[in-house]
Structure 1
Amino acid sequence: MRPDGILESLSAAVGPEGLITDPAECDFYAQDVYSKGPPPLAVIRPADKEALARAVGAATAAGVAIIPRGGGMSYTGGYVAPKAGALIVDLGRMNRVLDINPTDMTATVEAGCTWEDLRLALKPHRLRALAWGTLSGIKATVGGGMSQNGVFWGARDGVVVDGALRFEVVLANGRIVSTGSDFFRPFGPDITGLFAADTGAFGIKATVTLQLVREGAAFAYGSYAFDTADGFFKAMSGVAREGLASESFGFDPFLQAQRMKRESLAKDAKSLVNMMKAQGSAWKALKEGAKVVAAGRSFLDDAGFSLHLICEGRNEPAVAADLAEIERIVADAGGRVVENSIPKILRANPFPPVNSMVGPAGERWVPVHGFLPHSRLLEGWNRIQALFEANAAEMERLGVGAGAMLAAVSRSACLIEPVFFWPDNLEELHRRSIEPDHLAKLEQFPANEESRALVAHLRGGLIETFRGLGATHLQIARTYPLQEALDSSAWAILRTLKDAVDPDNLMNPGSLGL
């Protein structure tokens, strides 16, 4: 079929308002946070699952590859097509909360619903999703999270795909498949699980049904400083093994310094007001607000590593007891108490603007990550530092900085997420995502191919380092080597499943290495 013929078919499927062919606008949709894809044929923005199914069926019948795009916050090539002429699918118009069932503790949303919109819809019911999104949840979508996987809020309860009960998935042939029960998973082999964390390689999620849990009625917050990585990991792992914190995250000295260069938390009036409201009583609100103002940005000046924890429970005595046990673990690991502004404000404003997708002066930013068992965290950290030390001269010459976010994600594992900053030009995705008043304050760097190449080299080295440690990953997409990490027979099963649901390899080809 000629290109104009397939475009007519797509317009008929999604309506003229759901089809984008302008080259500049298509270029925007082909960019992720780290890289740019080749020019797509077009972008479709269907209004419902039926239109999505019609468009996918029409495209694949014409031999056009399908590239599903979530909220645009990926940095692992999740929607970066391997070659020009693909059809990018954006579900931003499919953003409704379809059902909230407080009796059965479930919610169903269209895949383009953001984590923030879901949170706001559930808040009047005092409910939230089991694992309820990443820090980019003001932009990131539920469907994108279920495809790429993610972790942060609700990490004690698992990664985001653990909260999925059922998907409606559009397959490459345009057929809509429901993966199972809307109140229990699994019923027999876990069909929902087959499509979870598939990075869109098996199909496009149209709707998602999630488990809900009751929001906590009481909270306690703790922040702690450590002089050594050994003490930090000992404390974070000890807290995680006991399940004492709903969220547990921290920063190494470099990333901590980068965060504290950003606009003062105390000057963010919205954050401060929301944090005060979240404290329950007017007196407590005033008291906690005064602490944040007094602390400003200086409370971590003398800290090496910092650890921030949130305890969530049914009543104040319960969370106070958890925090007391945390402080015993921290003291045993050589940590000390510092002002707890960071966890308080983050919990009150869980999905802030995504201004941190660039550095504090406007530098480019990209992470890479690995999940390791508690027993290998320090070894992993030391290997990462050795890689940076071996490249220190080049990093200094080219202005490349690296720090790390660290987080507990279960009783068995923690996340190490090195983050790179380097002087380079911003893309349209950055300019549209960052708040305009914040963007106006940033330095505009010229394109910097040499620094960008060094970051690519270092990211590759970190991925090899993580592979050598037996790490696992989220957001596999086109960045992390899945086949090398799997048993050969397990990979053969995955390959067979791909052939069954996408025999012509037109559904996000190359993602997962398939």
Structure 2
Amino acid sequence: MSADTAPATPSPLTVPQAGLVEDLRALLGEDRVFCDDDARRFYTQDVFTNGPAALAVIRPADTQQLSGALKRITAAGMAAVPRGGGMSYTSGYIPPTGDSVVVDMSGMDRIVDIDETNMTVTVEAGCTWKALHETLSPKGLRPPFWGTLSGIKATVGGGLSQNSVFWGCGQAGTAAESVLALEVVLADGTVVKTGSWAHASGNTETQPFFRQYGPDLTGLFTSDAGALAFKTRIVLRLVRVARAKAYASFSFEDWPALFRAMHDIGRDGLASECFAFDPFLQGQRMKRESLAKDVKALAGVVKGQGTLLKGLKEGLKVAVAGRRYMDDVPYSLHVICEGRSEAAADADCAAVKAICTREGGAEIENSIPKILAANPFGPVNSMVGPEGERWVPIHGLFSHGRADEAMERLKALETTHADLIERHDIGIGYLCLTVSTTIFLIEPVFFWPDALNDLHRASLEPDALARINEFDANPDARAAVEQLRTAMLDIFQDCGAAHLQIGRTYRYGKTMSPTTRTLLEAIKTAVDPDGRVNPGALGLH
């Protein structure tokens, strides 16, 4: 699905659509059904795309309400589309037609149970990663994977539908790998549980402590772009928060040396987070923040170091370093190592430093990983460029053996299309990170002058929105970005890439072998016979 120039104009509801809306109001209540033009437009926009206006938006309060609503929507022949925090850029929740009801899951945001005995937490799908983190942190607990950088808005359910990376992913893998069990609602309103949660144990609900009880049905409903069912309650595994952290940052002259270091750090499982910026992207980051933000972030560093004395020392280092230390840094690598003790964290960090030094890296002040770790779920102002440019990423997950080839081809593509890039004032940067011991992620990021949409305006902090430029709509530049993204998708496909946040952008369905696709389509038919749940996501009808 390509980005549209302007939000769609909602059409008047037909008689059957109006009848469905009245049924939903009777079921959910007037305050949980939205049919005004603004809502119908807003909830069908993501970071890159404006889709056709929905016929309605609903916000169920619990599993029972959602079950009843889905039964009515699909029986009326309409599509039902789940939406979490809205931070997608791959049309994951963009309805294919106006005959769609968007289900805003933010009304189901409760933390249902924290079981410290059995080391699990049960949350509703609309709970944000930030809310979960702030509730668990005082108890010294967290899931192994504990959130995305957009976790102030991104939800746990959305993170599982898209599958996500960042906090903890260097050792814990993706969001889906921290899940033990799910409660989901199928297209016809049927409620299903997975893992040991599905075990009928007398008159009591079985403890959801084990995911692989028989075939992994939990995994079936993760990474599905919301195309198979609606996740309502999620059980995550818990671990103790690490008692100590160590940080390191390095400068590299070129990306091949950077990649060699990252490959070894990833393969050895040394870091909970290992991420890198190319010169353009780190330049954007340095331009974006203000002195006020630095002071706020510094307070977080002081609080996040365990003891006041250590916090003051680390905060002073950040303050003294300022920002100028990044002026002459080509490629930068940032690492966070965690351990049960300072000695353990320091030992892993020392191994990281040895690898980086061996590959020609020069150690620099580690302000970036310290500030991020101390303020893990900051505002989502980076969903636009520092001057107010539009922003959109694309990514590929590669084996260590194919990542270098992919990067080489991506850089060559930039050279080939240099005239197009310059003509439309498009900036391209790269974020790279390791995921567990087997995955290397490359994320090209595009910036270009263009008008913002309603989602941007609702998501940015007011002071950030007031500071940025107001660009005119720029459909030619947007089309050029789409052309470049498509060319990069060709490279990803050639290099055997996998993807998160598949939505309607990545070629999942088309790249599957025929037998695998047949099985996937059979599963879709079994759980959604008429194709009413988020049709088009995953490339399925």
Asked if TM exceeds 0.5, the reply is yes
Q: Report Cα offsets for 1:28-70 as digits up to 9, x if no partner.
A: 1110011011011100001111101111111111001011111
The equivalent of 2:330 in structure 1 is 304
Pick from 371, 378, 395 the counterpart of residue 352 of structure 1.
378
2:395 maps to amino acid: H
Query: 9-18 or 443-452, which moves further after superposition?
Result: 9-18
TM-score, normalising length from structure 1?
0.99
Aligned-partner Cα distance in 2 for 1:103–1:44:
36
Does residue 453 (structure 1) correspond to residue 476 (structure 2)? The answer is no
User: In the alignment, residue 185 of structure 1 is paired with which amino acid?
Assistant: R
8 A Cα contact 1:373 1:413, kept in partner? yes
Query: Could you say if the C-alpha distance between residues 420 and 485 of structure 1 is closer, same or farther in structure 2, counting changes exceeding 3 Å?
Result: same
Instruction: Please say if 1:272 is aligned against 2:298.
Output: yes
- The alignment status of 1:9 with 2:23, answered yes or no, reads yes
Aligned to 1:122: 136
Task: Report the Cα offset of residue 267 of structure 1.
Answer: 4.4
Query: Retained in 2: the 8 A contact 1:265–1:297?
Result: no
**Which amino acid in structure 2 is aligned with residue 178 of structure 1?**
K
2:502 aligns with 476
SS in 2 for 1:421: strand
Q: Does 1:442 align with 2:457?
A: no
Match of residue 169 from structure 1: 184
Contact 1:13 1:55 in 2 (8 A): yes
Is the Cα contact below 8 Å between 2:28 and 2:60 reproduced in 1?
yes
The change in CA–CA distance for 1:306 and 1:265 in structure 2 (over 3 A counts) is farther
2:188 is the counterpart of 1:135: no
Separation in 1, partners of 2:302, 2:355: 28
Which blocks of at least 5 consecutive residues in structure 1 are unaligned? none
Aligned-partner SS, 1:2: helix
Aligned residues between the structures? 514
How is 1:149-160 mapped onto 2 (pairs within 5 angstroms)? 149-155=163-169, 156-160=171-175
SS at structure 2 position matched to 1:440:
helix
Q: State the match for 1:86 in structure 2.
A: 100
**Which whole-Å deviations, capped at 9, do the CAs of 1:473-510 have from their partners, x for residues lacking one?**
00111001112322221111110000011110000000
Structure 1 match to 2:201: none
State whether structure 2 residue 205 is matched by structure 1 residue 179.
Answer: no
1:334 is paired with a residue of what secondary structure? coil
Cα offset for 1:3?
Answer: 1.7
RMSD: 1.0
Letter in 2 for 1:440: A
Amino acid at match of 2:178: G
Deviations 1:116-159 (A, max 9, x none): 00111111110001211110000000000111100000101110
Q: Does 1:201 align with 2:234?
A: no
1:95 matches 2:121: no
* CA displacement at 1:299 relative to structure 2: 1.3
**Does 1:489 pair with 2:489?**
no
Q: Is the 8 A contact 2:194 2:211 kept in 1?
A: no
CA distance in 2, matches of 1:448, 1:34: 13
- The question of whether the paired residues in 2 share the 8 Å contact of 1:108 and 1:209 is answered with yes
* SS state at 2:195 partner: coil
Q: CA deviation at 1:270?
A: 2.3
Residue 264 of structure 1, CA deviation: 4.2
> SS of 2:123's equivalent?
strand
Residue 415 (structure 1) aligns with: 441
Partner SS, residue 381 of structure 1: helix
Select the residue among 16, 40, 59 that pairs with 2:54.
40
**2:451 paired residue number:** 425
Q: Residue 272 of structure 1: CA displacement?
A: 1.0
2:510–2:539 contact (8 Å) kept in structure 1: no
Partner AA of 2:31 in structure 1: E
Please tell me whether the aligned partners of residues 70 and 188 of structure 2 are also in contact (alpha carbons under 8 angstroms): yes
Counterparts of 1:13 and 1:271, CA distance in 2: 45
Match of 2:428 in 1: 402
Give the deviation of 1:464 after TM superposition.
0.9
Note the C-alpha offset of 1:269: 2.5
After superposition, where does 1:59-70 map in structure 2 within 5 Å?
59-70=73-84
Matches within 5 A, 1:241-320: 241-264=267-290, 267-320=293-346
Letter paired with 2:38: A
Distance across 2 between alignment mates of 1:161 and 1:280: 30
With the length of structure 2 as denominator, give the TM-score of the two structures: 0.94
Identify the residue that residue 388 of structure 2 maps to in structure 1. 362
Deviations 1:70-125 (A, max 9, x none): 10000000011111120000011110000001111100001000000011111111
Gaps of 5+ in 2: 1-14, 197-207
Structure 1 runs (4+) deviating above 3 angstroms are 264-267
Task: Determine if contact 1:258/1:359 at 8 Å carries over to the other structure.
Answer: yes
